[in-house]
Amino acid sequence: MSTLSQACQAALITGLALAAGATHAQEAAVTDPYLWLEDVEGEKALDWVKARNAVTEKELASTPQFKQLEAQIRAILDSDAKIPYIGKIGDHYYNFWKDARHERGIWRRTTLESYRSDSPEWETVIDLDALNEAEGENWVWHGADCLPPEYRRCLVALSRGGADADVTREFDLASRDWVDGGFFRDEAKGGLGWIDRDSVYVYTDFGAGSMTESGYPRIVKRWTRGTPMSAAEVVYEGKPDDMYIAAMHDHTPGYERDFVSRTLAFYNDELYLVGPDGGLKKIDAPNSANKSVHKDWLVLELRDPYEAGGRTFPAGSLIAANFDAFMAGGRDFTVLFAPSETTSLAGVTATANRLVLNVLDDVKNDLQVLAPPADGEGEWTRSDFTGQPDGSVNVAAVDADHSDAVWVYSDDYLSPATFAIAGAGEAPQVLKSMPAFFDASTHEVDQFFATSKDGTRVPYFIVKPKDLVLDGSTPTLLYGYGGFEISMTPGYSGSVGKGWLERGGVYAVANIRGGGEYGPRWHQAALKQNRHKAYEDFAAVAKDLVQRGITSPRKLGIQGGSNGGLLMGNMLTQYPELFGAIVVQVPLLDMQRYHKLLAGASWMAEYGNPDKPEEWAFIRTFSPYHLYDPAKDYPPTLFMTSTRDDRVHPGHARKMMAKMLEGGEDVRYYENIEGGHGGSANNKQAAHMSALAYTFLWNQLTD
């Protein structure tokens, strides 16, 4: 399915200043004594980071208990018993794998027959550790795009230290070596995409003025093999205040088409069909809709109501029309999914002849299969997915051009993942199952609903001991995110199990507004001036846990990262009395300057533009850096971030830590030097970061 706008936004999954707004920035420069900490790799700033890290390491990482937990989590992450998830490329099935012997990982392949066995025979294609040693680099895998139908040449993306910015290099699968003089894109945010063997689309940093204010590509070009990139032909040039410009070629046999995507902001994009003469024709669907083209069909996932063909389709619907007829002016749509009060569309997977819909009903998955009419006219047929597994379920096409088979992934909080394959109308055949990494027999899962301040029903999941005594004494960890239409569905985590549940703790996940659990309406309910509703939801869940006797404020810890880090910052500054400890990971915290730091400008559709006085008025109400009051009492807090995070600037966490440290608060700080927005570049670093968080929380909630 041609979903270029989805791909761009997933790579981002996720300003213009008025004259008066510029004054705010000038005032910040004058009044903020910690601006020097925004110098990411400045010597003074890094010396400060190392000093803070040392204090945190001494407090949390020096005990035998910490070292044991870190080793246990590392063993889980490195375990050879984990499922090696595969994807089909040509005649082989590929997997990227990290373990103790391969810290940065190996890209390897096997056959499906061998994969079905207990001990598959793997052929190493790229060894990242060996490559790093040979080149003196610290490459982190960012994926490979291989050219059909031969699938011999691949465009491999590699990142230094895990940053979003990466390089792209051409690789030959037959010789298993880099192509001498092949396509190469230098380090930047952006990418290369195959058109044919001798041409690619390139969207990257071409020099001054070629990137958007969000730090992403503004120009896409067509580049021919054997010519310098500087000679590449411009296909489309966006505006500086756009978010991301890209292009792609749809290789579906018989339906080869080219598209240009102009992303203006999250969930606001334009899609263009590239004509034979290079001219662009806009697909005249709403900017807010997710637009996909699959063979004969244009499929729209609506985020706002849409009037077409004399009908109004509600937000959250999935509708389809014949693509060629639509481009000729027709607006005859078929409704494939319509939301209800409890249901939303979590995803759509296109196979050769079907669409598999993943529907959430009160945050629980239900798979449905749709097939278009054979002659292009008439009704789509609908059926249940045969043999749907229990728990959280996701599907992906095995070979969307030639097969209706899908991969089926399933798990839940207490059930390890299974990986299966299912043909059309067939029950999934389990290929691999993950072993249990912790003893789940002592716990059970429940779903509860809290009532938010405005009366909204807010679901949350809870994993608790079966013999839990409801006296408020149990250490409880509550996790949340609440942004960018991302849903928090149940999933198995060996680290959570080993680091928290086996100790007897309760683990909870809040499905607050801002997320996608009930579709676009749930997301839009907490945008900009309504951001406070997400925080009211999370506070309501915290209070509900206490009212049920599951825990007490002194025993309740919370954790979240990125937008969830902003959530944690607001819990810290607005609801400190509800919590006993807080872990704030890769956070946004200074909401006056967030849009001026790295990718921050791309999130103004979510939060607003602080350079506009009328918007800063409400943004300030959820800017933790400005809400902090040294006269108040705050719970113990751990800030965690990464120097190499080039999405959310580490300056957010650094400055908040510095301000609260000066205020005499009970705070500590840890910044991983590598890792990008994910926080870690290998399993060793991931285990260390997790062990720090769980140790801090357990120490604080059990003292």
385 secondary structure, DSSP code? P
Of the residues 562, 642, 680, 690, only one is catalytic, namely 562
* Cα torsion 123, 126, 129, 130: sign: positive
324 contacts 343 by C-beta, under 8 angstroms: no
pLDDT in tens, 512-536: 999 999 999 999 999 999 999 999 9
User: Do 17 and 611 contact (CB within 8 A), yes or no?
Assistant: yes
Q: How far is CA 577 from CA 543, 552, 584, 635, in A?
A: 11, 11, 17, 8
Catalytic (active site) residue 92: no
pLDDT at res. 676: 57
Strand 219-224: give its sheet, edge to edge.
191-196, 199-203, 219-224, 233-237
Asked whether residue 20 carries a pLDDT value surpassing 80, the answer given is no
Identify the structural domains of the chain with CATH numbers, from first to last: 43-74+437-702 (3.40.50.1820)
Which of these, 498, 495, 547, 553, lies nearest to 700 by C-alpha position?
A: 553
Q: Is residue 677 flagged as an active site residue?
A: yes
Q: How far apart are CA 295 and CA 1, in angstroms?
A: 8
Tell me the one-letter amino acid at 579: F
Question: Which of the residues 261, 677, 680, 688 is marked catalytic?
Answer: 677
Q: Strand, coil or helix: what is 535?
A: helix
Query: H or E segment at 88?
Result: strand 87-89
Cis status, amide bond into 149, omega within 30 of 0: yes
pTM exceeds cut of 0.75:
yes
In this structure, are residues 502 and 493 in contact, taking their beta carbons and an 8 Å threshold? Answer: no
pLDDT digit string, tens, across residues 101-139: 999 999 999 999 999 999 999 999 999 999 999 999 999
pLDDT in tens, 371-406: 999 877 778 999 999 999 999 999 999 999 999 999
CB 448, CB 459: distance < 8 Å = yes
How many CB atoms are closer than 10 A to CB 645? 28
Residues 6+ apart with CB under 8 A from 417: 83, 409, 410, 411, 433, 434, 492
The pLDDT of residue 679 is 52
- What gap in Å lies between CA 207 and CA 212, rounded to an integer? 12
CB 671 within 8 A of CB 689: no
- Which tokens sit at 444? 């059970």
Q: Are 485 and 535 in contact (CB under 8 A)?
A: no
Residue 692: pLDDT above 50?
yes
User: pLDDT tens digit string along 278-306?
Assistant: 999 999 999 999 999 999 999 999 999 99
Find the radius of gyration of the CA atoms of the chain: 25
Cα–Cα distance measured from residue 164 to residue 160, given in angstroms and rounded to the nearest whole number: 9
Give the Cα separation of 335 and 354 in Å (integer): 15
Q: At 74, is the pLDDT very low, low, confident or very high (cuts 50, 70, 90)?
A: very high
